[in-house]
Structure 1
Amino acid sequence: MSIFAQDFSEQPRAVKELLTFAEEIKRKAAFLQPRNVLLLGMGASYYAGLYATVYANTTGMNCRCEELSEVIWYWSENSFDLYDTLVLVSQSGETAELKKLVEKYPKIRKKSILVTNNPNSSVAKVLGEDRVFVIHAGQERAMGSTKTFVNCIVTLLLIFSQWAGRSLNLGGLDDHLENALAVNIHDYVESVAANGQLVLVGRGFSVPILRMAQLTLAEVARFNCSWYSGGGFRHGAMELMAGGVISTLVHVEGKTSQIMARFIQELSRFDGLWLISNVETSVPRCVRLREGLSEELAPIPAIVVFQRLADELARRRGYPSGVGMIATKVTSEE
């Protein structure tokens, strides 16, 4: 088993461990009552922030998520005045961009919180214990965030549900992750490996999962793919299906489930169509996940399928799965 596979196989346990701290996280979050929130992160942390942003905006909160490196160089200091709370997401708490932000704009520290796997990081010490939310993901060995990505999402959902005054049942997510580890993906892997081209499509909460999947396939398997929102794919990019690519649509229960079902029926004549779904379907090429999660959680187990795909493609392509050849786990240079 690769070190990457070891990491992603521990995700159910990591989520279960995190949820033992759920009440503590919500109590700490309750001391803030933000209405205008800016999330900042890089890589997997940025995509976890995007996931939380979808949730926050559905509750009526004004929430925006940006890639930290772009903010440092292309925002003015006054831009931060539009937000009463900044949520900084970094599994290490030591990334170059994060440290630079806190040093460059000291006035934001009093309205910032840090979501991290490292409560002893230099940025955590600057902000203080009351403003640090630990994701309790345990040690992550490999390149390619797994436990830290999922636990960042869950921690952010706990924080934002508290701020929104909404109940969000996170129970059972660990079981659904276990199921995604066991579901048969052999034929899906064979199709992607044989084709060599992959397009990922989804809506709502699925979109940040697809963006993370793209990163995972790149850094673990050195495999390039593209992603589209469901609506964006229809606006022209669906022509790729006629070109013979493998298109994977994430279809889960939720507001746009019926729209996706009609779209899938329309595309079902193409041999390259694959689904990752917790919805009953007549499409034969489907990785079937368990039903039962709310829309806010339903796409999360899909990342496990993409992690397993990346691990298998890395092996077939002769790359060490989860071992960085150029990049590093903690980015110390911009």
Structure 2
Amino acid sequence: MSIFAQDYLEQPRVVRELLDHAEEIRSKASFYKPKNVLILGMGASHYAGLYATVYASNFGLNCRCEELSEVLWYWDEKCFDFYDLFVFVSQSGETVELKKFLENWSKLKKKSILVTNNPNSSVAKFLGMDAVFLIHAGQERAMGSTKTFTNSIVTLLLILSKWLDRKLDLAGIDEHLEYALQLDLQNYIETANVSHQLILVGRGFTVPILRMAQLTLAEVARYNCSWYSGGGFRHGAMELLVSGAMTTLVHLRGKTERITEKMFQELCRFDKTWLITNVEMDAQRKISLKAGLSEEIAPIPCIVVFQRLANELAQKRGYPSGVGMIASKVTSEE
């Protein structure tokens, strides 16, 4: 078994362990009352922040998420005056861009918090433990983020739900992750293996998941794919299907359920169109997730499908699954 598979198989357990600390996280979050939030991170941490931003925006909190490197180089410090809280997401707490950001703008320390897996990191020590929110993901062995990505999303949602004074029902998320780990994906994997191009399409909370899927397939399987929001896909990119590209459409219960189903009905005539869904519907090529989670939580188990796909494609193509050949787990150079 690859180290990458070992990591993703542990996701149900580490989510349960994180939820044991849910009240502690929400209690610490209660010391902050932000009105304008900026979330910053790189890679998987950035995508976890994007997921949290969909949640915050959906319920009325002004929240923006940006890739830390772009902010570091292309934002004037006057832009920071608008935000009353900075949320840094870094599983290692040693991300080079994060350390440079805090070196450049150390005065932001008093209105910054860190979401991390490493309480002993240099950034955690700089900010102080009162400003550190642990994701409790345990050791992550592989190059591709799995446990830390999932637990970063859940931790951010716990924090935001406190700020928004909303109930967040996370009961059963571990069971839904376990269910996704047991799904039969053989036909889906075989279709992807012989396809020259994979396109991922979704809306709302699923879009950050698809962005993470793209990264996972790149760094684990060295397999290139592209992602589109459902609306963006209609604005021209659908033409890719004519060339024989494989498409995966994520269709979950929620605000855009009907228009996503309508899109699938239009696209299913192409024989490489697949559906990932938690809705009962007729489809020749579909992956059925367990139903029952709310719209803001349901997309999280989708990432398991892409983790398993990446692991299998890596093995079929002779690549070491979860072992970096060029890049490294903790990036020390920009």
* 1:120 paired residue number: 120
State the identity as a percent.
Answer: 70
* 2:209 paired residue number: 209
Aligned to 2:48, what secondary structure does the other structure show?
helix
Cα deviations by residue, 1:142-174 (Å, 9 ceiling, x for unpaired): 000000000000000000000000001011000
Aligned to 1:274, what secondary structure does the other structure show?
strand
Aligned ranges 1:1-334 → 2 under 5 Å: 1-334=1-334
- Give distance in 1, aligned partners of 2:282 and 2:273: 12
- 1:76, CA displacement in angstroms? 1.1
Aligned to 1:284, what secondary structure does the other structure show?
coil
Runs (4+) of structure 1 exceeding 2 A deviation are none
- Give distance in 2, aligned partners of 1:281 and 1:271: 17
Structure 1, unpaired ranges of 5+: none
- 1:226, CA displacement in angstroms? 0.2
- 1:78, CA displacement in angstroms? 1.3
- Give distance in 2, aligned partners of 1:230 and 1:103: 39
- 1:196, CA displacement in angstroms? 2.8
Aligned to 1:249, what secondary structure does the other structure show?
strand
Letter aligned with residue 270 of structure 1: F
- Give distance in 2, aligned partners of 1:120 and 1:194: 44
- Give distance in 2, aligned partners of 1:149 and 1:101: 22
Size of the aligned set, in residue pairs, is 334
- Give distance in 1, aligned partners of 2:323 and 2:183: 25
Deviates more, 1:257-266 or 1:47-56: 257-266
Letter aligned with residue 265 of structure 2: Q
- Give distance in 2, aligned partners of 1:143 and 1:254: 33
Letter aligned with residue 269 of structure 2: R
Provide TM-score, normalisation by structure 2.
0.99
- Give distance in 2, aligned partners of 1:114 and 1:69: 17
- Give distance in 2, aligned partners of 1:2 and 1:314: 10
Deviates more, 1:273-282 or 1:129-138: 273-282
- 1:266, CA displacement in angstroms? 1.1
Aligned to 2:194, what secondary structure does the other structure show?
helix
Aligned to 2:215, what secondary structure does the other structure show?
helix
Cα deviations by residue, 1:94-140 (Å, 9 ceiling, x for unpaired): 01000001111011110000000001100001111110000000000
Cα deviations by residue, 1:183-218 (Å, 9 ceiling, x for unpaired): 100000010101131000000000000000000000
Letter aligned with residue 259 of structure 1: I
Structure 2, unpaired ranges of 5+: none
- Give distance in 1, aligned partners of 2:223 and 2:81: 40
- 1:23, CA displacement in angstroms? 0.1
Aligned to 2:297, what secondary structure does the other structure show?
coil
Cα RMSD after superposing both structures:
0.5
Letter aligned with residue 181 of structure 2: L
Aligned to 1:195, what secondary structure does the other structure show?
coil
Aligned to 2:275, what secondary structure does the other structure show?
strand
- Give distance in 1, aligned partners of 2:76 and 2:269: 50
- Give distance in 1, aligned partners of 2:281 and 2:306: 20
- Give distance in 1, aligned partners of 2:98 and 2:172: 33
Aligned to 2:6, what secondary structure does the other structure show?
helix
- Give distance in 2, aligned partners of 1:195 and 1:66: 32
- 1:77, CA displacement in angstroms? 1.2
- Give distance in 2, aligned partners of 1:266 and 1:215: 28
